[in-house]
Amino acid sequence: MNNLQPSDPTSMGGYPLLGRLGAGGMGQVFLSRTASGRLLALKTIRDDLSSEPGFEERFAREIRNSDRVRSPWTVTVVDYSAPGRRPQWLATEYVPAPSLGDWVATHGPLPPPAVLSLGAELCGAVQAVHQAGLAHRDIKPGNILLARDRPRLIDFGVARAADDSRHTRVGVSVGSPGFLAPDQAVGGVAAAPADVFSLGALLVYAATGRSPFSRAGEEISAAALLYRVVHEEPDLTGVDPALVPLLGDCLAKDPAERPTADRLSERLAEVGGRIGRWPREGPAALAASLTEAEYAARTVVDLAPHSDTLPAGQQPPPEGAPGGAGHTSVLAAPDGPGRRRPPAWLPATVVAAVAVVVAMVAVVHFGTQRSAAESSPSERGRPSHSAASKTAGGTASAAAPQSQASGAAPASQAASVALKTVQATFELATGASVGTGARTLVMQQDGNLVIYDQDGKARWAAMTNGEGNSARFQPDGNLVVYDSGGHALWASRTDGHQGAVLVFQADGNVLIKSGDTVLWAAGTEN
């Protein structure tokens, strides 16, 4: 991570800027956080783009498109600038994980089982995009984050409705050379088949370390690469033989000859690529790298100035409120108890670890997932945790920091009166609930686990969906949402604490505690 430049703002929309993560085609990307310490990637939009006729409309449409994709394989939009405000900006959750491009460049190609698992997971992501009536249009190694529980497809900056060509200019290709489809390369409207082509090219890269249209170690111009994409056959040398026929079909020049994302998922399953296996079939070295990155990401929050040290008028917006922009944000919500300031003797090695996480994450993202708690007027709220969480088997999420992961709770929480204490094991089937008059934990019909207050307002949600989902507070202290097939969709990441209890406090917060230690908090206090 680079330090802020003298010309950089110190905050944006009330969110403090902690450092520079990089720059993209649309503007600068900064590391930020919410008032309670949730890490954000905040992207500012270049002034010349903001002033371009029609850009603001396209920017607003991008956010609306983001809301249409609800998937465990995307990330959450947290807040954004109000119409007419300058500079324009967009804040998403921050995933401390390397991109596929960074990982392969450092460690080499993925082993065949990991490639199969990656393909299956990304098929789920692409299916979600296409079911929303969109095409991503820029699936490439830099837009895939290798998180612990599952990969994430990010950066919907060029996503457009698949049937909307009003903003596609003839002769202009959108995407990345070597991974975009021939139909994109010649400036055509990129629809769902183009994403399948890009996914096929990406899996060749994961398996071999190169695009199917480039050779190892060669330097080639974008124009020459695009020519090969349009006119030459892909080079699948080094790809697992079981995948060659399938990837060859994905890379067909004619869009009509490529499989759909649904069919691709079926064919991957036939050769062993199934969703849910990434935590155990991903690269062996990835787990250790993510542990270091996750710890470093949490440390960034503790090292950052808190609101009482920011200039007047520059404090982070209160949780559940828009970022000073005068509008309703997508997901500006409480996400756990406030963090304590780190002691002055914090070792220098911890500070050094902060640099590790940002070095691993060169790409920041725009993909989204909106809570199903907002699916009807009676279920609207501001849930705070993404579906990217630790699975029941003990796999830590790279998508959201764990509140008070170790150590005692703040005194104000420890002293709070418990209205109800629930011990393991209990299970919430669809439609079931548990709680008090102040807060109720409900397993909704749509598959979302939600905490409601006494007024029927959603205060937190796991952001899961699916018919037949259930929630289980397990003997090991982990609260988990399972789908109908028994796969973990979300978890509180509190396994390993036999005897932990779920506590509904008088202040409205819902906690998982082991003795006096808070293992997880929903952040739903009044």
pLDDT in tens, 37-78: 788 889 888 888 778 787 788 777 777 777 778 788 988 788
Residue 416 pLDDT level (bands cut at 50, 70, 90): low
pLDDT over 50 (residue 412): no
Residue 305 pLDDT level (bands cut at 50, 70, 90): low
pLDDT tens per residue across span 169-209: 434 444 577 898 998 877 766 689 999 999 999 999 999 99
CA distance 449 to 460: 8
Percent share of the chain, pLDDT over 90: 33
Which residues neighbour 315 within 8 Å (Cβ) at sequence distance 6 or greater? 14, 35, 307
Strand, coil or helix: what is 111? coil
Could you say which of 102, 138, 183, 495 is catalytic? 138
Q: Identify which of 373-387, 447-461, 468-482 has the greatest average pLDDT.
A: 468-482
pLDDT recorded at residue 300: 64
- Catalytic annotation on 302? no
- pLDDT average, residue stretch 258-282: 94
393 touches 344 (CB < 8 A): no
Q: How many CB atoms lie within 10 A of CB 161?
A: 17
pLDDT tens per residue across span 320-368: 444 433 333 333 433 332 322 333 323 333 334 444 333 433 333 333 3
CA distance 370 to 75: 9
pLDDT recorded at residue 464: 87
Q: Which CATH superfamily is domain 11-93+286-360 in?
A: Phosphorylase Kinase; domain 1 (3.30.200.20)
- pLDDT average, residue stretch 439-465: 88
CA distance 299 to 352: 10
**Which CATH number applies to 382-521?**
2.90.10.10
Instruction: Report how far apart, in Å, the C-alpha atoms of 123 and of each of 136, 199, 277, 316, 472 are.
Output: 12, 8, 14, 37, 28
Cβ-based burial of 189 (10 A; exposed 0-12, middle 13-18, buried ≥19) = middle
pTM (2 decimals)?
Answer: 0.60
End-to-end CA distance of the chain: 36
430 touches 468 (CB < 8 A): yes
Q: How many CB atoms lie within 10 A of CB 24?
A: 17
488 compared with 362, residue with greater pLDDT: 488
Task: Write the Ramachandran bin of 109: left for phi over 0, alpha for psi from -120 to 50, otherwise beta.
Answer: beta
CA distance 396 to 59: 33
Nearest Cα residue to 14 out of 81, 73, 65? 81
pLDDT tens per residue across span 107-155: 999 999 999 999 999 999 999 999 988 888 889 999 999 999 999 998 7
CA distance 302 to 349: 14
Which tokens in the block code for residue 313?
A: 């008028």
Strand, coil or helix: what is 227? helix
CA distance 278 to 514: 30
Domain ranges of the chain: 11-93+286-360, 111-142+156-275, 382-521
Pick among 3.40.50.2300, 1.10.10.10, 1.10.510.10, 3.40.50.10420: CATH of 111-142+156-275:
1.10.510.10
